[in-house]
Amino acid sequence: MKKIILILLLFTWSTAKSQLISFNFTGAAGNEKTYSSRLNDPNLSPSQITRSASMMRKPGVNSFNSSAWAEQITPDLGRYIEFTVSPLAGKKVTVTEITCKHQRSEGGPLAFSVRSNVDSYSKDISSFMAENNENVQTTVIDLSAESSLQNRSAAITFRIYGYRAGRASGTWGLGAAEGDHLIVNGASGTLPVVISSFHSDVFSEHIQLNWITESEHNSSHFNIYKSADGRSFAFKGRIDAAGSSTSARKYTFNDYDPASGINYYKLVEVDQNGENYDFGIIAAKIKFSPSLSLVSSTQDAVEILIRSNSASRGELTIADVHGRQLASATLSLLNGSNRVMLPLKANKMLLIARFESPEGVISKKFIKN
């Protein structure tokens, strides 16, 4: 049995929109390796802005300046600047807006994408264009509709990718204007409901999710979501919550249909007022031997469970002990558990189920009732 543990906290929300973090590059030379935030919400850790390894530091008075931006017409995922909004233990954050004051040189990038670690930087949460001049420009990035940035107890790292540069020596930087040059707005709050652990136990043929709440207030239920890639999640099940509790409570959810390999799970608590709180993602890896088993049988049919370590196509046959074929079907199996219902009119007898595919042959004897 394998165990994967993640310590998490759950919370309620009450704080209005405010300035969370701001950077001011007044007095900077432009080519600093990193730069620290000037203002930090008391519920957040101080932040630093940095560049990716592919970027070049460039001098620029009162700015955080860079060159070697992508010249292609799409983002180069290795060329960006980044900063992190990180709640303290027992705190949470929602990011609703980012304001940038920026300036490009001749040949600097014209297009920008904004992404975050919430989905492993897989897609844009916003994008903007710079005017084709060397003036200081202000861009306000509205993130208020981005649900993935709401009610977060885990750190959010933002990356800004610049591309469509005229040449590699062209620069773009934040700063060179009055006031703060990078401002993150939103809200922060305290976590009155505490989850002390959230982990997965891996058994031979299923995965069990376990979590413990130390206290709960106004909780309705937990939704469990599952994914094959850690990005696109589908609803898997629901467990009712305690509502209100000041003592530890244990919860369990079993996935009896895991895919062979890595399965990703996301736990979301739903309050009685409809608010959702995302606990984050855990992963569990399972590998089981391909197998056949009888799920159920009636006078007219049998239900067979086939577990496969990969997607495959093959032929399922049901025969008696003398080799006489009684039923068959051509199947396209998914990675994981596959349930198949076959019409089969027969009295109680010993039967043999056999599935043959390019990956091999599996078979199982069973008694049909």
Above 90 in pLDDT, residue 90? no
Number of domains in the chain: 3
For residue 283, the SS3 value is strand
Q: Do both 155 and 25 map to the same domain?
A: yes
Q: Do both 269 and 281 map to the same domain?
A: yes
Q: Give the confidence band of 298 by pLDDT, cuts at 50, 70, 90.
A: confident
Domain assignment of residue 273, given as a range:
192-286
What pTM does this model have? 0.65
Q: Do both 233 and 270 map to the same domain?
A: yes
- What's phi and psi for 338, nearest 5 deg? -135, 120
In terms of Cβ atoms closer than 10 Å to its own Cβ (0-12, 13-18, 19+), residue 206 is middle
Looking at residues 66-70, what average pLDDT do you find?
A: 98
Closest CA to 278 of 224, 239, 237, 231: 224
Q: Do both 105 and 218 map to the same domain?
A: no
Q: What is the CATH number of the domain that holds 327?
A: 2.60.40.2550
Q: Are 183 and 98 in contact (CB under 8 A)?
A: yes
Looking at residues 280-296, what average pLDDT do you find?
A: 84
Ramachandran category for residue 74: left, alpha or beta (phi over 0 → left; psi -120 to 50 → alpha): beta
Looking at residues 116-141, what average pLDDT do you find?
A: 94
Q: Are 255 and 200 in contact (CB under 8 A)?
A: no
Q: What is the CATH number of the domain that holds 281?
A: 2.60.40.10
Following DSSP, what letter does each residue of 159-226 receive, concatenated?
Answer: EEEEE--SSTT--EEEESSSS-SEEEEEEEEE--EEEEEEEEEE-SS-EEEEEEEEEEESEEEEEEEE
Q: List the end-to-end C-alpha distance of the chain, in Å, as a whole number.
A: 34
According to the model, what pLDDT value does residue 291 have? 82
Q: Are 140 and 106 in contact (CB under 8 A)?
A: no
Whether 73 is covered by a domain: the verdict is yes
Between 29 and 245, residue with greater pLDDT? 29
Above 90 in pLDDT, residue 130? yes
Closest CA to 327 of 336, 315, 311: 315
Token pair belonging to 347: 């009295």
- Domain closes at, from 189, 204, 222: 189
- Domain closes at, from 265, 286, 307: 286
Q: Do both 97 and 128 map to the same domain?
A: yes
Q: Are 231 and 120 in contact (CB under 8 A)?
A: yes
Whether 7 is covered by a domain: the verdict is no
Q: Do both 305 and 282 map to the same domain?
A: no
Average pLDDT across the chain, whole number = 89
Following DSSP, what letter does each residue of 289-310 receive, concatenated?
Answer: --EEEEEEE-SSEEEEEEEESS
**Which residue is it, tokens 């652990």?**
197
Measured in residues, the chain has a length of 369
For 305-358, how does the pLDDT look when each residue is reduced to its tens digit (9 = 90+)? Answer: 888 877 888 999 999 988 899 999 999 988 888 899 999 988 888 999 999 988
User: How many C-beta atoms lie closer than 10 Å to residue 306's C-beta?
Assistant: 24
Above 70 in pLDDT, residue 285? yes
In eight-state DSSP terms, residue 105 is -
Q: Are 77 and 161 in contact (CB under 8 A)?
A: yes
Above 90 in pLDDT, residue 86? yes
Burial track 75-98 (b if 16+ CB lie within 10 A, e otherwise): bbeebbbbbbbbbbeebbbbbbbb
Closest CA to 62 of 96, 95, 107, 27: 27
According to the model, what pLDDT value does residue 9 have? 43
For 316-329, how does the pLDDT look when each residue is reduced to its tens digit (9 = 90+)? Answer: 999 998 889 999 99
- Domain closes at, from 254, 270, 286: 286
d(CA 228, CA 264): 6
Q: Do both 248 and 145 map to the same domain?
A: no
Burial track 207-226 (b if 16+ CB lie within 10 A, e otherwise): bbbbbebbbbbebbebbbbb
User: How many C-beta atoms lie closer than 10 Å to residue 181's C-beta?
Assistant: 29
Q: Do both 121 and 256 map to the same domain?
A: no
Whether 3 is covered by a domain: the verdict is no
Q: Are 79 and 118 in contact (CB under 8 A)?
A: no
d(CA 272, CA 109): 47
User: How many C-beta atoms lie closer than 10 Å to residue 3's C-beta?
Assistant: 11
Whether 35 is covered by a domain: the verdict is yes
